[in-house]
């Protein structure tokens, strides 16, 4: 009986050692994330009532390693600072982005691409006050693949002055 337990223990140890040393085949990734900086990486857009400063502008694509085809809609990201240059308050609603080719014509998204060309802010700024945020939108594959991108058009959606707000407080309680 004692030899039987020792034999089982040795067989179990060999089985664990054998299966523990078996090579596992790890598959190589089929997709690669590629991040490229825009040239120039900084931009400044001045409007009648505002100043927008964009920095750290980058395009991120997901490409198939073997075919080098873009498999997901590319993303444009960056840091944005909006400064109120008017004499009154501005109620900033959001920022929209449009992509133009070298001739100034819009570059359209193709069917199946994810379209996210707006960033929502909903912030009120006083004169000379700045607000910071991120730009996180999609960019058409065609602008990247065919190197068709010539310009990016930024539109700031805002409600101009006079902007008056009134706060009303009323007593409430939970019983």
The pLDDT tens digits for 106-116 are: 999 998 899 89
Tell me phi and psi for residue 110, to 5 degrees: -90, 165
pTM of structure: 0.72
The pLDDT tens digits for 67-91 are: 888 889 999 999 999 999 988 888 8
- Whether the upstream peptide bond of residue 162 has omega within 30° of 0, thus cis, is yes
| C-alpha dist (Å) from residue 163 to 48, 58, 94, 98, 132 | 17, 35, 17, 28, 21
> Which of these ranges, 12-16, 32-36, 72-76, 106-110, has the smallest mean pLDDT?
12-16
Of 7-16, 76-85, 111-120, 149-158, which one has max mean pLDDT? Answer: 76-85
- The structural domains of the chain, with segments of one domain joined by +, span 31-159
Alpha-carbon gap, residue 73 to 142, rounded angstroms: 10
Alpha-carbon gap, residue 62 to 73, rounded angstroms: 8
Tell me phi and psi for residue 69, to 5 degrees: -85, 145
Q: How confident is the model at residue 169 (pLDDT cuts 50, 70, 90)?
A: low
User: What pLDDT sits at residue 21?
Assistant: 59
Q: Are 59 and 38 a contacting pair, CB within 8 Å?
A: yes
Paired sense of beta strands 90-100 and 50-64, if any: unpaired
Q: What fold is seen in the domain 31-159?
A: Immunoglobulin-like (2.60.40)
User: What pLDDT sits at residue 154?
Assistant: 86
User: What pLDDT sits at residue 1?
Assistant: 59
Q: Are 144 and 76 a contacting pair, CB within 8 Å?
A: no
């Amino acid at each position: 009986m004692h030899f039987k337990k020792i034999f089982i223990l040795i067989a179990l140890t060999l089985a664990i050692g054998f299966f523990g040393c078996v090579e596992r085949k790890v598959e190589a990734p089929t997709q690669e994330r590629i991040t490229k900086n825009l040239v120039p990486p900084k931009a400044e857009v001045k409007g009648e009532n505002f100043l927008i400063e964009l920095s750290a502008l980058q395009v991120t694509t997901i490409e198939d390693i073997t075919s080098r085809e873009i498999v997901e809609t590319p993303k444009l990201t960056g840091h944005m600072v909006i400064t109120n240059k008017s004499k009154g308050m501005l109620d900033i609603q959001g920022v929209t982005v449009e992509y133009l080719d070298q001739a100034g014509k819009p570059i359209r998204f193709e069917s199946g691409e994810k379209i996210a060309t707006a960033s929502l802010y909903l912030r009120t700024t006083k004169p000379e006050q700045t607000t910071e945020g991120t730009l996180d939108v999609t960019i058409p594959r065609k602008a990247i693949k065919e190197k068709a991108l010539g310009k990016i058009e930024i539109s700031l959606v805002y409600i101009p002055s006079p902007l008056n707000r009134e706060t009303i407080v009323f007593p409430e309680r939970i019983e």
